[in-house]
Every structure is written in structure tokens, then in C-alpha cells.
Structure 1
């Protein structure tokens, strides 16, 4: 995380999306494992051969593999994919900018300097309000927009954004390419390191 920070920039918060995204995949994991184990046991005892006597007698072991393979396909295709999707998105708030980083098969970074933020909009649906998560939309005066979906502790996160904007120095500017960057590590910075 330190390598994405510019000199003098401090990390305030780094978080993933809310864990509620993992509830349905966890339920599917439990149901698929239980149903697959039950079906494999039922088939291995020969109950299907009693129902369908025309099946070859040696097919009992092969038929027991069908629910196991189907369950594995569901677990890899849905549960693991949802876990990777949740883990790959990170929201990073620093003393100068806010970033949405995606580190999956495709890497995407989207950042907005805090000096450009003109509006911080928090939207919470009913379930999001109960779980204290929400969607934060940051807009600038130049029609640029950054949306962070399913942010945990969304009200607190948006308050951190507002505090970081208030603490920006009046003459904040980004160095132009080729400009020398001065080290400001000895300056006192208004934020302490916070990680959720």
C-alpha cells in the first residue's frame, strides 16, 4: 500500500466492500456441500438402481461422482468467483485523494484528488442502513464522478472524506511531470494512520 502514496501523503483508511456480499455465496456453499454429500451417499447405496433397474450394475460409483462434480462446478463458478470479486476491490482514502482499486484478472485504478471534490453524496437502502453500509458518490465541478458501492461504515467513511477535505492546505497542487518533489516528511500532518 505504501508504494501508491506520494511523498507527504498519508493513508487514512483502506477497506474492502461490505461483507454482506458474501452472505449468499456462504449460504450456497453450505447448501451445495450438504446436498452434494447427501446425493452422493444416496447414489452410492444403489437407490437409483432400484428405481431404474435398466442401469448397468457397475454404474453406482460413477453416478455418485455426478453430484460431487456438479457441486464443485457451482462452488468454483459462483462462490469462489464472488469471494475473489469482493476481495479484489479496495477503497483507499489518503490525505490527498480517494481511490477505487480493483486487483482481479483486470486491474483498474480510479482516483479523484480531494481538492476537486465538490459534493459527497451518501445513499443507503433499507438493508444497507441496517448494516451501516452505503454507496458514496463523489462529484467534482467538472462532471467527474467517483462511485464507491457497498462501503462499510459508510457514514464514518464519508465523514473521514469531509475531514480530509477540510484539512487540505489552501495551496495544494500536484507536481507536474519533471518537477522536483520535495520531501515533506518532517512537517506535521493532520491525520494519523487509520485502517478499518
Structure 2
């Protein structure tokens, strides 16, 4: 999904647009499986009871709350988190109901580093560390293909913008 062009400046183009790596969704999916499995087991245990219907209603309500809390909310957070590199800036937008964002003009970025441990390397993600001229380094975790993103960002920083020249 492309980043909305209406949010970009004149002569600004998206170079990279990514969501956090899918590994952020492993625990929410496991939580869904545990809630569904546990709820089904408890519902089966309650089936022989004469008052099983109220138990099933309570189980369904508790399971629905848990699914929303532990699966749907993280999925929405993942989906609404954007890491975008354009020809003019690096942008990070996150949040479902309350949005927050960081914009760093490419000209103010002084260094770009990445790091990834063994698990990150196995699944293909890592942490991108961006230092700007006056701020403390910003770390962006779970960036997919972090080495490629690092290279593209470094290339954008090193190249003067061709359209502005």
C-alpha cells in the first residue's frame, strides 16, 4: 500500500514505505489460538451442566475481550505504524486513535546505523539507528530488510535531490 501522496510535499516521492516486521504479530496470533482453544475447552467442560448457557455467554464475552485486547489491538497498531523514507525526509507515523509522528529532514541526518541479532537476521529485520544534527539517536525497531533500508536511506542522504537542482 502506497503512502498517501496528499501528505507529501511538492516534488517529494516515496522511496521506502514499510510496516514493522511481521514478527510483531507472532504473540498476538498465539494469544488468539490460546484464547480460542482455552475457551472451547472450558465450553466443552461446561456443556454437561444444566446451567451451561450462562457459562457459555460469560466465556464468549471474556474471550471476545481477550481477543480484542491481545490480538486485534496489536494488529491495528501494526497496521497503522508506517516507516517512510521519501526524497526529502524520513517519517514515522504510529497510533490508532491518537497518532504520533516523527519527521527528520534528510539534510539533518548525520549518520545511519543498523543492528540485528541472530533471531532478527533469521526473520529478516532489525533496528535502524538514525542520528540527526542536534537530537539524540532515534531507534526504529523491527524494520523489515533493515540492511536494504539502511542502504537506501544512506543513498538518499548522500545524493543531492535531482529535481531541486
TM > 0.5 fold call: yes
Q: Which residue of 2 aligns with 1:109?
A: 101
Deviation at 1:144, TM superposition (A): 4.6
| CA deviation string 1:72-104 (max 9, x = no partner) | 121011111111111121001001110001241
| Distance across 2 between alignment mates of 1:29 and 1:99 | 32
Q: Which residue of 2 aligns with 1:10?
A: 13
Structure of greater relative contact order (alpha carbons < 8 Å, 6+ residues apart): 1
The answer to whether the 8 Å contact 2:111/2:130 transfers is: yes
Structure 2 unaligned residues grouped into runs of 5+: none
The answer to whether the 8 Å contact 2:16/2:85 transfers is: yes
| Distance across 2 between alignment mates of 1:23 and 1:110 | 26
Structure 1 unaligned residues grouped into runs of 5+: 47-56, 170-183, 190-196
Q: Which residue of 2 aligns with 1:63?
A: 55
Structure 2 counterpart SS, 1:7: coil
Q: Which residue of 1 aligns with 2:28?
A: 25
What do you get for the CA RMSD once the two structures are aligned?
A: 2.0
After superposition, residues 38-187 of structure 1 pair within 5 angstroms as 38-46=41-49, 57=50, 59-169=51-161, 187=163
Structure 1 runs (4+) greater than 6 angstroms displaced: none
